[in-house]
């Protein structure tokens, strides 16, 4: 029991399970009748289980016996092998001296192999210089494939010898071999020079003699395969390897493209000269890309992507070329041409979008010809140039306008009888044309020019106002100069109103545009100054009459008030040449001016009424003057 506690536990569990089963089956008396059947069935079941257990144990014991027998046999074999190895070890130790003799034999065999190899290549070695001369003749005769075949043979011979020397550690002998094959360097350089000359003129050769170009490409591909093989082996790198002639091919081709168009020492940067230059570039680039697409593509392997390479080269070269041009001090026409060409012409069907180039040529993935920063910088330069031109033009217009104020005739009138001059039309047409021209490039340039136009218009209004002040000073010195001073003031006010109404139409989306606050303030100042000068002129004519107020002559019923009304009526007729908003404003200002001057005259001078009759007469005169002036202004 102490050795097998699990057996005791298992027996207890089995008895418990049997008791539970029996209590479940025989819990009723009538079930006891089947006790014999249950006993017989359980006895058979136990016999079957015991038989299977005996069979399993017997099989296990037989397997253990077989395994032990195999282990015993293996141990005997291992012991036998150990004895044999020991015997072999002692035999090898006895033969050590004989192996020294074999080592010497091996060295002799290796030396014999080397000498045999040298004997085999001796005829080739002796003919090296002769082959060099023949190869050079082939190169001079442009028999490039034959020359390259002999060159490869000589290089293979040299590289094989150098490789053998490298493997055997005989580096001191390599210098002798390199010296002996020194002519290979000259042949390589001569062949390379001819190849790069061919590649440099490839766009012309593919039209005239494509065989020569194809030959050059075949030689380059041969060298690329040799480079790849040498780099894969990675045991010995022969001198001059890798040659990298395919990359050199691309480099020479790109240099040929850029050198043909973009390395000019001098170019006329003015508008007409630049236009011719850009037109020539456009025509030549399209023509050459068509040659690449139709002819050169067929002469090179597909993996060269020659059309994409040429397209990218032209694109990058143009980008640099435009940057070089923009470093010059260009006029506004040249700047406009560059922007238009880079942003519109370059991608149009007239150039890179030409039907003969599509769909193979696609510059959309190469980025913009001019970066957004460069475009913005160029637009700002253009705006500066346009601003200088606008300023000069406006100044000239102002000078002409100022001279016209002193003419001996009235300003022109429109069909409604309003005084005007050509100034608003000239100014707005000039600004509008510049804005419309800018809209042909980009919306941002249009906005920049629009902002510049508003700034210049504001500055122009300031100078125009100063010119009016100067004219007013001249008139104060001599009221006969200018002769039609009032008429030209009225024309300037109408012009100012025309400018104000025209500003909002400078851009297509005029409905959403409002006149900037600063510009509106300049327009208001201009209008205010014009009205002020007109009222000052009216005041000068009224002052002599106001000086007679009050007086006995005025009180006795003189024509003083009638004279004032005549002066006012005369100016009102002049004001009728103003457009309605200004006409109404000036009438109101004139009414205030007359009233203030009338009252000021009464307050500044004293008049003593000696009797009640005079006081009544004074009241009647004041009422009559007020009534007469009121009726006059109401009638106007």
Check which CATH number belongs to the domain holding 441 and give it: 1.10.357.50
How many domains is the chain built from? 5
pLDDT at 117 over 60: no
Least confident of 253-262, 299-308, 425-434: 253-262
Tokens of 583: 């006409």
| Residue 1 pLDDT class (50, 70, 90 cuts) | very low
**What's this model's pTM, rounded to 2 decimal places?**
0.72
Q: Cα–Cα distance between 134 and 147 in angstroms, integer? A: 8
Chain-centroid distance of CA 423 in Å reads 42
Q: Cα–Cα distance between 346 and 349 in angstroms, integer? A: 8
Smallest CA-to-CA distance from 495 within 471, 444, 529 is with 529
DSSP assignment of 563-596 equals HHHHHHHHHHHHHTTS-HHHHHHHHHHHHHHHHH
Token pair 């001016």 is at which residue? 593
Q: Tell me: do 385 and 523 sit in the same domain.
A: yes
Within a domain: 97:
no
Please tell me which residue, 461 or 172, carries the higher pLDDT value: 461
Alpha helices by DSSP H, 1-95? 5-25, 35-94
Q: Tell me: do 248 and 266 sit in the same domain.
A: no
Q: Tell me: do 592 and 475 sit in the same domain.
A: no
| Residue 137 pLDDT class (50, 70, 90 cuts) | confident
pLDDT at 265: 46
Which of the listed residues 370, 395, 424 is the one where a domain comes to its end?
Answer: 370
| Segment 376-431, tens digit of pLDDT | 999 999 999 999 999 999 999 999 999 999 999 999 999 999 999 999 999 999 99
pLDDT at 531: 95
Within a domain: 326:
yes
Q: Tell me: do 529 and 402 sit in the same domain.
A: yes
pLDDT at 603: 83
Which of the listed residues 344, 370, 396 is the one where a domain comes to its end?
Answer: 370
Q: Tell me: do 453 and 489 sit in the same domain.
A: yes
Q: Tell me: do 55 and 185 sit in the same domain.
A: no
Are the CB atoms for 451 and 519 separated by under 8 Å? no
Which of the listed residues 345, 370, 395 is the one where a domain comes to its end?
Answer: 370
pLDDT at 346: 92
Tokens of 185: 């360097």
| Residue 122 pLDDT class (50, 70, 90 cuts) | low
| Segment 521-530, tens digit of pLDDT | 999 999 999 9
Q: Tell me: do 531 and 433 sit in the same domain.
A: yes
Least confident of 100-114, 291-305, 341-355: 100-114
Within a domain: 92:
no
Within a domain: 85:
no
| Segment 415-427, tens digit of pLDDT | 999 999 999 999 9
| Residue 509 pLDDT class (50, 70, 90 cuts) | low
Domain of residue 297 covers 262-370
Integer CA distances (angstroms), 541 to 534, 537, 573, 629, in order: 11, 7, 15, 16
Rounded to the nearest 10°, the torsion over CA 470, 473, 474, 476 is: 160
Q: In the predicted model, what is the mean pLDDT of residues 187-192? A: 86
Q: Tell me: do 365 and 428 sit in the same domain.
A: no
| Residue 126 pLDDT class (50, 70, 90 cuts) | low
Q: Tell me: do 388 and 531 sit in the same domain.
A: yes
Q: Is the peptide bond before 556 cis (omega within 30 degrees of 0)?
A: no
pLDDT at 263: 61
Within a domain: 580:
yes
Q: In the predicted model, what is the mean pLDDT of residues 291-301? A: 92
Q: Cα–Cα distance between 65 and 57 in angstroms, integer? A: 12
pLDDT at 418: 94
pLDDT at 185: 81
| Segment 590-608, tens digit of pLDDT | 889 888 888 888 888 777 7
| Residue 123 pLDDT class (50, 70, 90 cuts) | low
pLDDT at 542 over 60: yes
Within a domain: 114:
no
Within a domain: 86:
no
| Residue 630 pLDDT class (50, 70, 90 cuts) | confident
Q: Tell me: do 392 and 339 sit in the same domain.
A: no
Within a domain: 119:
no
Q: Cα–Cα distance between 370 and 418 in angstroms, integer? A: 51
Q: Tell me: do 413 and 439 sit in the same domain.
A: yes
Q: Tell me: do 342 and 479 sit in the same domain.
A: no
Please tell me which residue, 570 or 138, carries the higher pLDDT value: 570
Integer CA distances (angstroms), 466 to 319, 458, 534, in order: 48, 13, 15
């Amino acid at each position: 029991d102490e050795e097998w506690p699990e057996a005791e536990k298992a027996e207890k569990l089995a008895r418990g399970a049997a008791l539970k089963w029996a209590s479940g089956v025989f819990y009723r008396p009538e079930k006891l009748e089947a006790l014999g059947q249950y006993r017989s069935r359980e006895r058979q079941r136990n016999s079957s289980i015991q038989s299977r257990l005996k069979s399993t144990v017997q099989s296990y014991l037989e397997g253990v016996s077989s395994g032990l027998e195999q282990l015993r046999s293996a141990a005997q074999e291992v012991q036998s092998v150990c004895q044999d190895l020991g015997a072999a070890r002692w035999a090898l130790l006895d033969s050590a001296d004989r192996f020294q003799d074999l080592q010497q034999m091996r060295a002799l065999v290796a030396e014999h192999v080397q000498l045999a190899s040298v004997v085999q290549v001796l005829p080739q070695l002796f003919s090296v210089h002769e082959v060099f001369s023949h190869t050079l003749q082939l190169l001079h005769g442009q028999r490039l494939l034959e020359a390259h075949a002999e060159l490869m043979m000589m290089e293979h011979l040299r590289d094989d010898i150098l490789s053998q020397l490298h493997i055997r550690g005989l580096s001191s002998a390599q210098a002798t071999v390199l010296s002996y094959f020194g002519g290979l360097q000259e042949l390589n350089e001569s062949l390379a020079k001819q190849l790069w000359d061919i590649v440099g003129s490839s766009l012309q050769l593919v039209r005239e003699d494509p065989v020569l170009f194809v030959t050059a490409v075949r030689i380059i591909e041969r060298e690329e395969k040799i480079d790849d093989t040498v780099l894969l082996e990675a045991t010995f790198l022969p001198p001059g390897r890798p040659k990298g002639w395919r990359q050199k091919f691309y480099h020479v081709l790109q240099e040929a493209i850029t050198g043909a168009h973009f390395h000019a020492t001098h170019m006329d940067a003015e508008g007409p000269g630049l236009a011719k230059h850009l037109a020539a570039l456009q025509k030549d680039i399209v023509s050459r890309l068509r040659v690449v697409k139709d002819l050169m593509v067929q002469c090179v392997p597909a993996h060269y992507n020659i059309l994409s390479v040429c397209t990218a080269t032209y694109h990058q070269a143009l980008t640099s070329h435009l940057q070089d041009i923009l470093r010059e001090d260009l006029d506004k026409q040249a700047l406009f041409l560059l922007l238009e060409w880079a942003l519109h012409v370059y991608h149009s069907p007239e150039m890179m979008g030409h039907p003969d180039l599509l769909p193979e040529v696609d510059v959309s993935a190469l980025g913009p010809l001019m970066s957004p920063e460069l475009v913005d910088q160029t637009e700002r330069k253009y705006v500066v140039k346009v601003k200088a031109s606008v300023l000069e033009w406006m100044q000239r217009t102002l000078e002409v306008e100022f001279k016209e104020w002193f003419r001996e005739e009235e300003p022109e009138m429109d069909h409604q009888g309003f005084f005007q001059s050509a100034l608003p039309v000239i100014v707005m047409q000039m600004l509008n044309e510049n804005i419309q021209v800018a809209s042909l490039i980009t919306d941002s340039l249009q906005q920049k020019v629009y902002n510049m136009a508003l700034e210049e218009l504001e500055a122009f209004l300031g100078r125009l106002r100063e010119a009016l002040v100067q004219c007013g000073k001249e008139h104060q010195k001599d009221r006969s100069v200018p002769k039609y001073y009032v008429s030209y003031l009225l024309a300037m006010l109408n012009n100012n109103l025309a400018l104000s109404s025209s500003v909002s139409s400078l851009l297509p989306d005029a409905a959403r545009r409002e006149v900037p606050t600063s510009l509106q303030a300049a327009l208001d100042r201009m209008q205010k100054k014009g009205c002020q000068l007109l009222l000052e002129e009216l005041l000068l004519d009224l002052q002599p009459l106001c000086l007679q107020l009050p007086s006995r002559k005025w009180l006795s019923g003189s024509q003083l008030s009638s004279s004032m009304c005549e002066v006012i009526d005369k100016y009102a007729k002049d004001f009728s040449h103003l457009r309605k908003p200004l006409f109404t404003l000036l009438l109101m200002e004139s009414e205030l001016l007359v009233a203030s001057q009338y009252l000021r005259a009464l307050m500044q001078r004293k008049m003593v009424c000696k009797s009640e009759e005079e006081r009544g007469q004074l009241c009647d005169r004041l009422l009559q003057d007020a009534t007469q002036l009121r009726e006059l202004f109401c009638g106007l």
